Amino acid sequence: MKKDMCGMFLPEITAAILPVGLEKYRARQIAEWLYQRGASEFSEMTNLAKKQREILAEHFLINSVRVLDRQHSQDTKTSKFLLELEDKHTIETVLMRQPYGNSVCVSTQVGCGMGCLFCASNLHGLMRNLTAGEILSEILFINNYLKNQEEKVNTIVIMGSGEPLANYEHVIKFIKLCHEEYSLNLSYRNITLSTCGLVPGIERLIQEKMPINLSISLHAPNNEIRSRLMPVNRTFAMEKVLAAGDYYGRETGRRVTYEYTLIKGINDSRENALELARKVAGQLASVNLIPVNPVPERGLMRPDLAVINNFEQILKSKHINVTVRREMGTDIQAACGQLRNKNLPG
């Protein structure tokens, strides 16, 4: 089988092309074509001799994605794309035009195996991990899409379908590739990874010494509620997750964000807010409240605005740093696997 060149570090490209007779300096040209100029075929690499392009095409491939469906929010700020991979699996990628630039939310797996009650990504379970090159091709697709406006991707949130720390090697390679100067040349500070709380993965991430932002999906103030919403809590209990978050903050000096999806009648009471405040007090962290994208089939609804505001105020009164997520893209099913599900057969 031909090896995928998109997703290789520069030294890997060098090691791949020397045996087929290309000069070492060609590796950088190829990397720039792949990662900076968005080439999807070797034939586009016009500063290489024609013969060399043919040799490359004989031995390697460039994975690329094909867009099957797209939706734009009414305010045009959010665009969601359903992308097809080489093996016909589909994934979702979301572009959000924020005041600070173009932010892209990437998927890291086809489906998800974590089984969170409120999340649409796992209705069909985990199909497979994405490779580093496939995750990167989500960004390259958006960069191509933005090219006409002479814009590109500025920040990346690893918050799409899938659990990134359950696909550790590929996700870390993807992040490092985004950072390389011959690739996207993005600062680690412009990258955020969101996890449901795989504690060993968080500890491993700290050792990577990459100052990326970490979000942890907490969604509950105690183990009882959390285990109901997130089966993963039965493996990694909330105290362990909070301790790992605290450790991440202290080791990296980066503020951790705890994501808390507010669900009517489940985790939105005054007692829930007070208990949450006690649990995160003293950490270099903030809480991001997300009014749930309703899942009526499971009876999960959004609290009234007054309840959301009250929850926020209680946290503030306890000196917790708190934000409420601004609505983006709910009118286009931009939440977590919804577009993909709409397009899956059966």
Nearer to ligand SAH, 57 or 210 (CB): 210
Nearer to ligand SAH, 195 or 213 (CB): 195
Calculate the alpha carbon distances from 48 to 6, 43, 228, 276, 306 in Å. 17, 9, 57, 59, 62
Smallest separation (angstroms) from ligand SAH to the CB of 214? 10
CB atoms within 10 A of CB 322: 22
Smallest separation (angstroms) from ligand SAH to the CB of 72? 20
Residues carrying an active site annotation: 92, 336
DSSP label of 332: G
Measured CA to CA, the distance from residue 300 to residue 266 in angstroms comes to: 9
Nearer to ligand SAH, 31 or 307 (CB): 307
Report the interface residues with ligand SAH, using CB under 6 A.
116, 118-119, 159, 163, 194-196, 217, 259, 261, 290, 292-293, 295, 335-336
> Which residue do the tokens 């996700």 mark?
171
Q: What is the DSSP string of 246-271?
A: HHHHHHH-PPEEEEEEE-TTTS-SHH
Residue 282 Ramachandran class (φ > 0 left, ψ -120 to 50 alpha, else beta): left
Nearer to ligand SAH, 138 or 163 (CB): 163
Burial of 319 (0-12, 13-18, 19+ CB in 10 A): exposed
**How many residues would you count in the chain?**
346
Smallest separation (angstroms) from ligand SAH to the CB of 165? 8
Smallest separation (angstroms) from ligand SAH to the CB of 298? 10
Smallest separation (angstroms) from ligand SAH to the CB of 333? 10
| Distance in Å from the first CA to the final CA of the chain | 32
Indicate the SS3 state at residue 300. strand
Q: Which residues of 146-183 are buried (b: 16+ CB within 10 A; e: fewer)?
A: beeeeebbbbbbbbbbbbbbbbbebbbbbbebbbeebb
Smallest separation (angstroms) from ligand SAH to the CB of 124? 15
Nearer to ligand SAH, 5 or 230 (CB): 230
Nearer to ligand SAH, 180 or 231 (CB): 231
